[in-house]
Structure 1
Amino acid sequence: MALRFAVSPLWETIAALRVLAAPGAFPVHQRWSTWAAEQLERLGGDTSLLHVLVTRPVVPEFLIPTPGVRSVGIDVEVDALAKASPERIAAAVADDPRVLEPDALPAVQRRLRDVHDAIIAPVWPRLEGVLQGDVERRGRRLVEAGGPTVLAELHPDVSFRNPVLTVNGRSVTLDERDLVLVPSAFTWPRPYLRDSPVRFALCYPAHGFGSLWERAAPARDALARLLGGTRARLLCELESPRTVTELATRLGVTVGAVSQHLGVLRAAGLAVSRREGREVVSLRTGLGLALVQSQAP
């Protein structure tokens, strides 16, 4: 078994729709839910089968392909749905032949993109900071203590006795397939195990997701007194992923100075950095978000 991490904007979109389908059941997301429901209303009614599919007790496997890399874009994930064979779709939703109609899957793909753009994309920098921060935190734990310890610490409903993984009382034997850990802001209060032909995925509540929609935070001048002026400005700029060169240009300082300040923010758990192609981009974490004045979604 190979243990990996991934952040999935597609899963966050689907999990968010499941939250919206149960009004009042997720008070931690109430502020976001009120805003998101208004955005969906502006989109108009869902003429695809998306709502039916995402609100089933178990989301159909073909609708949530597990990413093969740590970070992936929503367009890549949605386009990948077209690769699902009719046999695979029928196996997942045998009781609903409408899904096999020629226009069904393309309609679901279009609706998914529209929904993502409406309720996830505007808050994605905030969400991604929490999710990538969780990956960074647990990745360090993986190096320090190993996979079994990381799995044991994920959630009370997760246990692992090699080679058997148990999630919410359901046990699976981990074979040669990868196990991908997918942090989520909307998978709460219980984790969610996804079984696909290629790899297992375990979606779990990300560390720090509960503070996502809070308004309270120090004023900018107080943040500058706490961190220093340059680091405070740097943390504010890290709302979306940026390279060292971009940050240096925006702040009017040298690349070396940005690198040094980023190192301090990473060490304090306020920012994370990752490689995207030939570039290294940085983003603030959920803890970093808590130190920056937050705006309504």
Structure 2
Amino acid sequence: MTETESAVRFRFGRDDLLRTRFAIAPLIELSAATYVLRLPGQFPEHRRFIQAASSRIGSLDLGLLYAVNPLGRRTWPNFNAPAPLTPHPDIGNELARVAATPPSTVVADVLRTYPGGVPEGLRPFVEDPEEALAGLVEQMRAFWDAVIDPWWARMTGFLEAEIAGRARRLVSAGGASAFTGLGRNVRWDGAALTVSPVAMASRDIDLAGRGLLLIPSALAFDVWPRVDGPWDPALTYQPPGVGDLWQRDHHAAGALEELIGRRRAAILRALDQPTSTLAVAQRTGWSAGGVSTHLAALRRTGLVVRRRDGREVLYTRTHAGTALIAHATT
């Protein structure tokens, strides 16, 4: 490191390596996607993702979302994408966290980012943070549904595989192995994890028993140290092989049918709304008894749930069932 290069050092105490942990962060993926879509030429590895997403956002109002994810900055607000508190949070719960951010935290975060004066696009977060926050969450939800959700099952599978492998190395071989490959500008010396150079002022962070949260991200570019309170220290990084994530599997057609059978696949696809056994039978032309047998198997494997509505029993796909369909068709 030269004298002119800035660095962030996470200093580990006796217990910090034991408390190092991993999480998937839907809010960070959402934030990263705003940069990828606005700067498509800088991210050729995401070409297919960009092509698919760009066609879905033309009618969306994203002014507040883009304002809190500014281009051309060395620092940016963090309140819209705090590090997760659980290993694999749901996007609905994470958006609720953002909506519940104290107005004082929003104002302080914006002023920290722009000490010389807040730009026009971010003035609402200083002048009326509660209203601006509510509008931001609406835009984040619309952006998620249009851009991230169609790929989320595939993205989480990729990230879970990364976490499993790195966590095994952390337990079996210690920090030197677990921190290898986080990025070309990341170094571990047995006592500190150093990120250098970074597009921010140098910082020394004493983890002080908190451990470090490692967040693999499919869409984050480079390595993002997260060092500003009131959030715990974290490091976002991009795992290797992310370009393969978006590639179309030319053998995927019929994959769901091959896995669970043609009839069960057709029934699972039909259950995007609560539906009775009789309705499925009428739609498919199969016997009600046969449909009932397939529904029972799908329910036992956690792909559908049922509930009674008066004299009818209605079946609906679970999140796992929807994710299975999405993964087999994207």
TM-score (ref. length: structure 1): 0.71
Change (3 A) 1:200 1:248: farther
> 2:216 is matched with which residue?
183
SS at match of 2:235: strand
Q: 1:1-297 residue pairs with structure 2 within 5 A?
A: 1=16, 2-43=19-60, 45-47=61-63, 49-56=64-71, 57=73, 58-94=75-111, 95=114, 96=118, 97-100=123-126, 101=128, 102-169=130-197, 170-173=202-205, 174-188=207-221, 190-195=222-227, 196-218=229-251, 233=259, 249-250=297-298, 295-296=329-330
* Matched-pair contact (CA < 8 Å) for 1:21–1:55: no
Q: CA deviation at 1:160?
A: 2.6
SS at match of 2:187: strand
> 1:267 is matched with which residue?
none
- The structure whose RCO (Cα within 8 Å, separation 6+) is larger is 2
**Cα distance in 2 between the residues matched to 1:105 and 1:220:** 42
Q: Unpaired runs of 5+ in structure 1?
A: 224-228, 238-245, 256-280
1:225-260 per-residue CA deviation (whole Å, 9 max, x = no partner) reads xxxx99x626xx9xxxxxxxx99924x9x98xxxxx
> 2:270 is matched with which residue?
none
SS at match of 1:172: strand
SS at match of 1:42: coil
SS at match of 1:55: coil
Change (3 A) 1:143 1:69: same
**Cα distance in 1 between the residues matched to 2:296 and 2:196:** 47
Change (3 A) 1:162 1:84: farther
1:123-170 per-residue CA deviation (whole Å, 9 max, x = no partner) reads 111111101111111111111111232123322111233543322325
Q: CA deviation at 1:52?
A: 1.2
Q: CA deviation at 1:42?
A: 3.3
Change (3 A) 1:168 1:111: farther
Q: CA deviation at 1:72?
A: 0.2
The one-letter code sitting in structure 1 at the alignment partner of 2:223 is: P
* Matched-pair contact (CA < 8 Å) for 2:32–2:219: yes
* Matched-pair contact (CA < 8 Å) for 2:252–2:329: no
**Cα distance in 1 between the residues matched to 2:186 and 2:33:** 22
The one-letter code sitting in structure 2 at the alignment partner of 1:175 is: A
**Cα distance in 1 between the residues matched to 2:79 and 2:104:** 10
| CA-based RMSD | 3.4
Provide the aligned length of Structure 1 versus Structure 2.
245
Q: CA deviation at 1:62?
A: 1.4
Greater C-alpha Rg: 2
* Matched-pair contact (CA < 8 Å) for 1:165–1:172: no
Q: Unpaired runs of 5+ in structure 2?
A: 1-15, 266-293, 302-319
Change (3 A) 1:70 1:206: same
* Matched-pair contact (CA < 8 Å) for 2:27–2:80: no
**Cα distance in 1 between the residues matched to 2:174 and 2:296:** 37
Q: Percent identity?
A: 31
Q: CA deviation at 1:39?
A: 0.7
